[in-house]
Amino acid sequence: MAEHTDTKAAADDWATLAAQSQAETPTAVQAPAASANVFPEFSGAGTKSTQNDIDFILDIPVQLTVELGRTKIAIKNLLQLAHGSVVELDRLAGEPLDVLVNGCLIAQGEVVVVNDKFGLRLTDIVTPADRIRKLNK
């Protein structure tokens, strides 16, 4: 009996929602026409130059990562690591390092030392076409 009451209550809720949406339909249809010019500067008809459009995104932060190498290790071996332990990576010595922006490969380079700090000299930049091709894989 309780199941029949719950079903009836659910049907009443759906009927109420349907009635409300029918009552709101004329307003919803008129809203897109009124809001068509909310962002006119992005429509392409604006007079701003391309440089100003690019300046709009220049302060967005991204994560830049230089990857030395990777490895898979069992948890029991991970727990045995101590000061002075050596972890073998999948890269050979002298092989270029990957430069990733938000996890996407954009360049490769080599390690340099500048004023007692590590740095990176870029040796190869991935073209935008190659980046898109890798995304599609």
d(CA 103, CA 64): 8
Residue found by looking up tokens 């898109």 in the block? 132
Q: Alpha helices, DSSP H only, in the chain?
A: 2-34, 50-55, 75-79, 128-136
Cβ-Cβ contacts under 8 Å for 107 (sequence gap 6 or more): 98, 99, 122, 124, 125, 126
Per-residue CA distances from 45 to 36, 49, 56, 119, 132 (Å): 14, 11, 17, 44, 28
What kind of architecture, by CATH, is found in domain 61-136? Answer: Roll (2.30)
Sheet holding 97-101, edge to edge: 64-67, 97-101, 104-114, 117-125
Q: Is the pLDDT of residue 16 over 90?
A: no
Quote the pTM value.
0.53
Q: In the chain, what are the domain boundaries?
A: 1-60, 61-136
Return the bridge partners of 11, or none. Answer: none
| pLDDT tens digits along 40-96 | 555 555 555 666 778 888 889 999 999 999 999 999 999 999 999 999 999 998 899
